[in-house]
Amino acid sequence: MLTMLLCIAVIGSAVPALAATTEVNITKYASDETTILDETTVSYQWMGTNLTVQGDGATEYFHQGPIFDGDPWDLAETLNLKSKGIVRGTDVKDLCDLVGGMSPGDEIGIIASDGFNKRFGYENVYDPKSSQGPMVVCWYKDGEHVPDYEGGMQLVFFADDHIFGNWDMHECMAPEYRYNYSSEYPSANGLSIRYISDIAIYSNETAETAWSLELVGAINETMSKATFEKGVACHDGFSYIDSEGRTWTGVPLWYLMARVDDTDTHGSGSFNDTLAGEGYDVIITACDGYSKTFSSADLAGNDSYIVACYLNGSDLPELTGSGKPLAPLKLVGPCLSSGQMIGNIAEIVLDVGTAPVKADLTLIGNGTKTYALDEVRAMPAYTGVADSRNRQVW
């Protein structure tokens, strides 16, 4: 009997419980559903501060679950109502607008951290009927924010009567966007996705010529075209006018170095001046393997070394006038020789080694004691069995 109980406990503990999400990634794709047109990540704190908050902090909202006996659509909305609690959050429409928004005919995917996802149409997001109401990513419930809000962030439809019923789903959504329990019973509750981690816009826009820049240093980053261009816009662009009167616009090279010179990736003070002063090589490599090497000491805080993505306000042309590869990026600046102005850039490497793992354990009680990682590893190890009933940019 004891052996059986232990086996049950071990099997139960093998399935990790999902944790509430605290930020959401929003990505807009081209019509090929692969090319990224724009993307951003925002925390629930940022949403609450910068976007209109949905919910008055007093109204309880419901979704209707499946009806097994009688009319499965239950027009009266009296059966199997699932409380979502007193919730507050952010309109999905406002989140979509952060990456260029949607157009009629586009679809949106709401994706949970475990991969579960549902798609919805443009009208459900931008022009919902009152019986559906706004689609809201909720990060507050019954007095608690995520991560204390178990199941958050969660999708809730703010219907005008506070109940999003099965018949509401029928009237407001095309069949492909509805949810059926066991493929037979309509359930509006099945659309209340929990643990939201991603929002994907699948647009009808034509795919642009996409590229990415590999940044390699203490940490690594693959920077998309959209992220690079957003950085240029954020800093109002740094420009260099060459001897022919052409204007090259981009960001200083040291801004990119700051993304990977240590684990502090952005914000004030993210560039590691101490490390740059000690000196390391920065190797810039083109798509054909050609490279140039620079000293970190020369680049530190120097806005004259510009990695440009625009020429006279447009994307760099694929080729120079002499037929050499140029796009997507070129290093330019008044202090560079023509031979140092490398184009067709694919990779920037900082020869700084890998960022060290920092892992300390601090115990606070009547006193305070901090243990280094090696000290923790040297401690005796103990093994326990979980009770399966309580699993729960720039």
Q: Does the structure show a pLDDT above 80 at 11? A: no
Q: Check if the beta carbon of residue 288 is closer than 8 Å to that of residue 308.
A: no
Q: Check if the beta carbon of residue 191 is closer than 8 Å to that of residue 176.
A: no
Q: Check if the beta carbon of residue 1 is closer than 8 Å to that of residue 17.
A: no
As assigned by CATH, the class of the 23-202 domain is alpha beta
Q: How far apart are CA 363 and CA 357, in angstroms?
A: 20
Predicted confidence at residue 370, as pLDDT, reads 67
Q: Which residues contact 321 (CB under 8 A, 6 or more apart)?
A: none
As assigned by CATH, the class of the 212-350 domain is alpha beta
Count how many Cα atoms sit within 13 Å of the Cα of residue 303 in the half-sphere of its side chain.
Answer: 6
Q: What is the mean pLDDT of the chain?
A: 88
State the amino acid at position 299 in one-letter form.
L
Domain with CATH 3.90.420.10 in the chain: 23-202, 212-350
Q: Does the structure show a pLDDT above 50 at 9? A: no
What are the backbone dihedrals phi and psi of residue 160, each rounded to the nearest 5 degrees, phi first? -65, -30
Among 74-88, 125-139, 304-318, 341-355, the minimum mean pLDDT is found in 341-355
Q: Does the structure show a pLDDT above 70 at 347? A: yes
| C-alpha dihedral (117, 119, 125, 129), degrees to nearest 10 | -110
Count of beta carbons in the 10 Å neighbourhood of residue 252: 19
